[in-house]
Chains A and B, each alone.
Chain A
Amino acid sequence: MDAAHRTAISDALSRLADGDRSAFTALMTELWPVVLAFVRKTVREAADAEDVAQEVFVKVASRIADYDRTRDGLTWVYAIAAFEVRTHLRRLQRRREAPPLAEDAEPADPSPSPIDLMIDEEISRTLVDALGELSDADRALLGIGERIADKGVTSTAIRKRRQRALGRLRTVWSKLYG
């Protein structure tokens, strides 16, 4: 998704949070396909995915009055969508659950669920964005990108520089994502 699309979604959410009802059409056009695509990635059944996507969209609409315009709109929407999808998957799992079996029952699958993978992907993307704001030297100190020659520098100095680079990464992160 490009930056213009993200901005358009945030803009429509901000206008609606202000009480401008005319932004609803823009929200519907910009956000509905995004929500549907997000839910389809995690819910396999097409009919179920559409139902869940509708629930997500209605939930987003009902919470717009509390939307904080300083935050990224799409991240806010994804948080609501992830919660709804997780609730749906849990409900499905409960429905499918067989009555308790003997000791030979299979243990629960320890691998991450599709929704966890999607959230990890979103976090990785935001981390890459935050790292992009750092200088080459800071990135090198954090073990990303090309290593800069550090002849004659003690290990203590390198550790301290790394700590400072981490501090700057924290500042950039909180500036970008609150």
Chain B
Amino acid sequence: MVDQNELRKRALRAYEFGRLRMSSRVLLFLLPLGVACVLLSDNRIVCALLALLIGGLAVVLRWLHRRGVEAVEIGLKAGMLPLAVSIALMQWGHSSSPALTISACSAAGALAGAWMGYQLGRARAGIPVWLASAIVALAAAALGAMDLGAGGLVGLSASYIASVAVAGSVGRFRAMQLARNG
């Protein structure tokens, strides 16, 4: 006779391991990215800690729920543009010009925020998804922008948050209009 309680416990454990395996797949993308950022950064320890934080956060969010999977996906996509811009600024030696750094970071942050806000607004995502996506996106962007100084980071974050709010409202309004028109 099968012990249903024992079977349930075993199956639940297997289920959680299965989810963990699925959620860890994001590390295939994040590990090489983190290693590259650490190698390019002047502040390697902080950069490594930030990379670990993003990796852990991404795995936990994906493990918890499907909404976490979506939040991580959108957050990482949104964070890639500011990250690429920050790395490019560092590599081409423009980080010594604060005006250029701040404006480039702000522009990248605004574009990333607009894209993310529009996507989440259109999908009518809940507040936890907004928060999770924003944290992942900002952490991914900070991975590259860390060496650009406080000005770059603040500019990026401020423009990002402002554009997320505006684009999110527009996306939500469009989704509501589409729903009303059938």
On A, residues with C-beta under 8 Å from B are 16-21, 24, 28, 32, 36, 50, 53-54, 57-66
Which residues of chain B are within 8 angstroms of A24 by Cβ–Cβ distance? 8, 11-12, 15
Main SS at interface, chain A: helix
The answer to whether B68 and A61 touch across the interface, beta carbons within 8 angstroms, is no
Would you give the shortest CB distance from B172 to chain A, in whole angstroms? 23
The answer to whether A62 and B15 touch across the interface, beta carbons within 8 angstroms, is yes
Interface range on chain B (Cβ under 8 Å from partner): 20 to 34
Beta-carbon contacts of B63-90 to A below 8 Å, as 1s and 0s? Answer: 1111110000000000000000000000
Main SS at interface, chain B: helix
A88 and B167 CA atoms in complex are apart in Å by 56
Question: Does B19 have its Cβ within 8 Å of any Cβ on chain A?
Answer: yes
A20 and B66 CA atoms in complex are apart in Å by 9
A24 and B14 CA atoms in complex are apart in Å by 12
The answer to whether A19 and B15 touch across the interface, beta carbons within 8 angstroms, is no
A130 and B67 CA atoms in complex are apart in Å by 35
The answer to whether A61 and B22 touch across the interface, beta carbons within 8 angstroms, is no
The answer to whether A18 and B66 touch across the interface, beta carbons within 8 angstroms, is yes
Most B-side CB within 10 Å, residue of A19, A21, A50, A54: A19
Closest 5 CB pairs between A and B? A19-B65, A62-B14, A65-B22, A61-B11, A62-B18
The answer to whether B66 and A63 touch across the interface, beta carbons within 8 angstroms, is no
The answer to whether A54 and B2 touch across the interface, beta carbons within 8 angstroms, is yes
